[in-house]
């Protein structure tokens, strides 16, 4: 009585090739001799392998459905593997990778990403700007439109692999006669050969050129920020999709302001008389000229804040602050009249021999930690 290979694999008679393959993989993982060396299990493994060999081949499957003998007497399948059984399906049963590499691969591949350094002033990075950038990159060849073939020609089907992109070799192993596949050495796995390459791109499907693109730099970027421009990179070989273009922001140092996140910092030096009596200063900020009010009695090290005068927050509303650090200058040289005036002021304030206020010095972290353990 003829074998029912559908029952052997546990699939319906109208099962698709994908369902047949999945059923075989599942059984092969359970019954493979390396997993179950039992003789009965090995015989069962040969049966499912023979069934898969028949049902995975359209011609043999049709012959089986008509009641014929797919092996013409059964000699080829007696050892458990027919002539040229695809060994990659067994490997795929365990690793799940062989079937993905079958068939010709496309000549079109994604292009590489590119990175451009963009230098900005503080105002440009803080408030945003628009730049026109010149980019040297690969673009689609207009002569062959990415095919790589000369005008009026097209890639020919490879006569070694007949368009499959791979060649097979039958060998013998402990499993019997098996077939292994590898990329075709003549076409490189593409399944076709360009016999007449395009003279413009030499068969690559792309050419290098210089182009200008206009990009918008958002407000709030800072030194080291990367901006991704999707699809603005190089066109891929064979007319493949382009990669991305990344802009690396480089912020030039400012003559007055130091940026710390969204805040700006600067230092102003004023005489001690101005600090004592108070004054006003004109200062150029990123928003124009600002009048700075220095209150009487301002001490060295004090900070005068200008809220909302920093840079724009990236992808948010609002701005940082401008923080002005005050440094009070003590005069180094005095003439006789100035010295006499200061001495008179010192007498009036009873500061000729000030007692002074001594405070403990700043301790480092390890000194404080040592004192804590010593109970001080």
Which residue ranges make up the annotated binding site for Zn(2+)? 141, 144, 158, 161, 184, 187, 198, 201
Q: Within 13 Å, how many C-alpha atoms sit on residue 67's CB side?
A: 1
Please give the distance of CA 320 from its chain centroid, rounded to a whole number.
30
Residues 6+ apart with CB under 8 A from 43: none
Residues 6+ apart with CB under 8 A from 51: 3, 5, 6, 8, 9, 24
Annotated binding site: 141, 144, 158, 161, 184, 187, 198, 201
Q: What angle do CA 205, 210, 216 make, to 5 degrees?
A: 115
Instruction: State the alpha helices, DSSP H only, in the chain.
Output: 5-9, 17-31, 39-55, 58-65, 87-95, 122-127, 272-277, 336-348, 365-373
Query: Do β-strands 129-140 and 288-294 pair in parallel, antiparallel, or remain unpaired?
Result: unpaired
- Residue in this structure with the two tokens 């365990």, named with its chain if needed: 94
Q: Within 13 Å, how many C-alpha atoms sit on residue 17's CB side?
A: 8
R_g of the chain computed on alpha carbons: 41
Query: Do β-strands 176-183 and 85-86 pair in parallel, antiparallel, or remain unpaired?
Result: parallel
Report DSSP state, residue 148. Answer: -
């Amino acid at each position: 009585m003829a074998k029912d290979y559908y029952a052997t694999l546990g699939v319906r008679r109208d099962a698709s090739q994908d369902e047949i393959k999945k059923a075989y993989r599942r059984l092969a993982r359970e019954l493979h001799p390396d997993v179950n060396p039992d003789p009965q299990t090995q015989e069962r493994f040969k049966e499912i392998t023979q069934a898969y060999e028949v049902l995975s081949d359209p011609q043999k499957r049709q012959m089986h459905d008509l009641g014929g003998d797919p092996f013409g007497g059964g000699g080829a399948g007696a050892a458990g593997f027919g002539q040229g059984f695809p060994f990659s399906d067994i490997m795929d049963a365990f690793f799940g990778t062989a079937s993905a590499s079958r068939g010709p691969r496309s000549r079109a591949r994604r292009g590489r990403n590119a990175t451009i350094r963009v230098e900005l002033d503080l105002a440009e990075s803080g408030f945003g700007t628009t730049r026109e950038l010149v980019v040297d990159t690969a673009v689609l060849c207009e002569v062959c439109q990415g095919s790589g073939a000369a005008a009026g020609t097209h890639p020919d089907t490879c006569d070694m692999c007949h368009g499959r992109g791979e060649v097979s070799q039958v060998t013998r192993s402990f499993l019997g006669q098996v077939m292994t596949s590898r990329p075709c050495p003549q076409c490189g796995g593409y399944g076709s050969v360009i016999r007449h390459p395009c003279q413009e791109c030499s068969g690559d499907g792309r050419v290098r050129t210089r182009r200008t693109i206009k990009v918008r730099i958002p407000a709030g970027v800072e030194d080291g920020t990367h901006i991704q421009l999707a699809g603005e990179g190089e066109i891929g070989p064979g007319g493949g999709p382009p990669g991305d273009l990344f802009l690396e922001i480089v912020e030039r140092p400012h003559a007055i302001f130091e940026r710390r996140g969204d805040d700006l910092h600067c230092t102003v030096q004023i005489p001690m008389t101005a600090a004592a009596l108070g004054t006003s200063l004109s200062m150029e900020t990123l928003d124009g000229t600002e009048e700075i009010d220095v209150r009487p009695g301002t001490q060295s090290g004090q900070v005068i804040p200008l809220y909302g005068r920093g840079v724009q927050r990236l992808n948010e509303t609002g701005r940082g602050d401008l923080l002005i650090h005050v440094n009070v200058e003590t005069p180094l040289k005095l003439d006789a009249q100035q010295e006499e005036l200061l001495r008179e002021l010192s007498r009036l304030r009873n500061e000729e021999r000030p007692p002074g206020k001594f405070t403990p010095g700043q301790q480092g972290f390890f000194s404080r930690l040592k004192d804590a353990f010593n109970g001080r």
